[in-house]
Chain A
Amino acid sequence: MASHSHSLNYVGCNFLRQRLVLSTLSGRPVKIRKIRAKDDNPGLRDFEANFIRLIDKITNGSRIEINQTGTTLYYQPGLLCGGSLEHDCSPSRSIGYYLESLLCLAPFMKQSLRIVLRGVTNDQVDPSVDVLKATALPLLKIFGIDGEELELKITRRGMPPKGGGEVVFVCPVKKAVKPVQFTDPGKIKRIRGVAYSVRVSPQIANRIVDSARSILNKFLPDIYIYTDHMKGTSSGKSPGFGLSLVAETTNGAFLSAELVSNPQGEGVAVLPEDLGTDCAKLLLEEIYRGGCVDSTNQSLVLLLMTLGQQDVSKVLLGTLSPYRIEFLRHLRSYFQVMFKIEMKPSDEERKGGEKVLMTCVGTGFSNLSKTIK
């Protein structure tokens, strides 16, 4: 077979998740060299190793080879098997780090995935589970990945550094993905959010809500921010608080922003009021960037467009981040899919920044893992 000849080669640890996820979906082996080769602490970090372990868990027959120093990784993907699983995520990255990749892979498993992830639910680096729940799941629904099973439940919250949170992610299996044309985001009709606080005063959440509303009320009356104060075992191991905001448009686009307090023992203490206003401003920034998909889920939407039927998919996005640009390059090398990129300047002055219209023809991907009877 020609399976060895078409492996891809990369250098460096960045975009590791993208590479492994795309490798799994496209079935092409990948070799990543020089992972932090010049670093004082070379090789894969614990969270990366943890991620690889997770990939190993959800696939069957994949081959993973890591050299002794951990600077070279060879991954030959197997088939996604899914099922009922549990995984303890590394506390150095939040569950969002793992969940983002799982969102890409979960619809293409053999059995529907039901996974319990344990670790840090909200941190300052990665998108939190709240945001993913509010934005990524509706996005999957647009692509025809829906059903009652599609669910992301936060059973316990865990803040950095110790974590202790727990999330249940359930996703149904689909044979193929629908092409989408989502070029008109519509107008924002409501803003929702969650202000959470664990192991701190429950009053903090209310203070966050008030300050956030003070900013957002200038634009829209329909704002509701839930306060979520968790106690006891469901509050994790470290104290902290934060806010995640989601703006929903008339056409079903979701834009999100979030902010989390500094972890215990790191940095200066953050005032809940400041956090609320800052987060609200971040949401406004996100709205300024605009598009039909918020900046955290751009790669998910691009991936699902690529994996669609051999039809034209179109999505209007906000500014492309460097991470997405790299993702687009990866999509081309794995799937030979090139996007048509058209800049849409904001013709009207009051609708935020410029947008990018992404168009592509799907690869006609079909879920090869799913069993038919």
Chain B
Amino acid sequence: MANEALQASAVEPDTRDQVVGNSARHNQTIARVVLVLLILFTLFPFYWALRTALSTQRDLLANPASLLPVGFTLDNFRAALGLISTSDAVASGGSGRTFAFWKYLFNTALVSTVVAAGQVFFSAMAAYALARLNFPLRNAVFIMFLAALMVPGVVLLIPNFVLIYDLGWINTYQGIVAPTVLMSPFAVFFLRQFFLGINRDLEEAAKLDGAGYFEIFSRIILPLSSGPMLTLGIIVFITQWNDYFWPFLVGRDEDVRVLTVALSVFRSQTPQGSPDWPGLMAGTLLAAIPIIVIFLFLGRRIATSLQFTGVK
């Protein structure tokens, strides 16, 4: 595929190729080398984790440099998924520490879905008001949201923790989702910019037909912006899925523990001497799989949208 992309550019009739044919070919070679290095550089850590997770701990110690799995086994994945008993896992060289993958997966998926849906929907409501409705203080409210965009998380961390603590929400789902489920300054800003670009004719017509604001919002604005809202939702979902510091502070309890926190706990439980690398890598890969799936299906869409919002 790399070759196709590059050859397509090489065979294209291009004045540059005729003028400086040699140097153009030279540049193509450099480009190909950079691309290959980049692919190796990007994919190697994943391959290495996979190769390790498919190896047996004992054989790994004897042969750490083999590029293929040593003592091939699926037991590390089975153990992480709870498919074999702890004693069997220990017998095959695992640490025997429990990693309740399905529970952490459920917690992570729940928290990420709620935050993505809530943040996008409530931000869209606010963005609609800011983009379309006239009311006193509109600019002041918008500037307030813009200013919040600049405030780094560190200032909010301690006060928000104290607030969640006072509410008695430590180690609850609502404690984990509360700060992000109702809005994010970025989501409001992003959606407002998009709504401003929507043609007003449909809305004007709907107004004259007696449609109310909520009808206009739900029947016109939302359907017309389903694409950007979906992209935004995916980005919020991934951000929440990857978040570590906040759930680590307010959701360390086993019942609400998300995957990132679970991985760090699993890692800190491994003894310094001989960590259970195959087990740890199996858990790490399992935690990354949902993101990899999203990447495979929607990577291109996310890349395009980030480039657009990043520059604008």
Please say whether chains A and B are actual partners in one complex: no
